[in-house]
Amino acid sequence: MTNQAIEEIKVNGLQVFGEKSDDSNRELLEFIYQNDPIVNLLFNCSQGTEFESIRHDLVNLEVQGAKKLIEVLKEKKIEVNDLNDDELHVLYTMACTPLFEVITHRYPYNEALNFIDMMEAAMNFGWRRIIK
């Protein structure tokens, strides 16, 4: 999502950023359910393998993407609060946890949509903390 968000912000500013982000989250959920056996193995059966830290690794990817996005916001003269890596890590851990719970507990798709709504609310909270 980050590269798509960066391009969207470069072209349109923040007008449609939230909408694109929400669409991206739903696409991610569909991908997870279409690839359930593989995703389940990665998240629930990877202890002792190179994938055992997948949750942490995904959060770190999100943090790196957010840092790129924040730089673009600054280039566009959009005021932001400078959060350090630890603050961004906590923020993204909070935001990604609903998705991780959907995967861990293998909720039915319709129930998972509610968790995605929760994830979007957490990210909206986070971005309100970042953007002044």
Question: 19: pLDDT confidence band, cut at 50, 70 and 90?
Answer: low
Q: What is the pLDDT of residues 35-63, one digit of tens each?
A: 999 999 999 999 999 999 999 999 999 99
pLDDT (0 to 100) of residue 1: 54
pLDDT grade for 117, boundaries at 50, 70 and 90: confident
Predicted confidence at residue 121, as pLDDT, reads 86
Residue 11 pLDDT: 78
Stated pTM of the model: 0.84
Instruction: Give the orientation angle of helix 85-105 with respect to helix 54-75, to 10 degrees.
Output: 130
Task: Give me the chain's average pLDDT, please.
Answer: 88
pLDDT band at 76 (very low <50, low <70, confident <90, very high): confident
Cβ–Cβ < 8 Å for 21, 120: yes
pLDDT of residue 87: 94
Under 8 Å between Cβ of 64 and 26: no
For 73-98, give one letter per residue: b (16+ CB within 10 A) or e. Answer: beeeeeeeeebeeeebbebbbebbbb
Contact 131, 73 (CB under 8 A): yes
Tokens representing residue 17 in the block: 């950023």
Least confident of 13-22, 27-36, 40-49, 103-112: 13-22
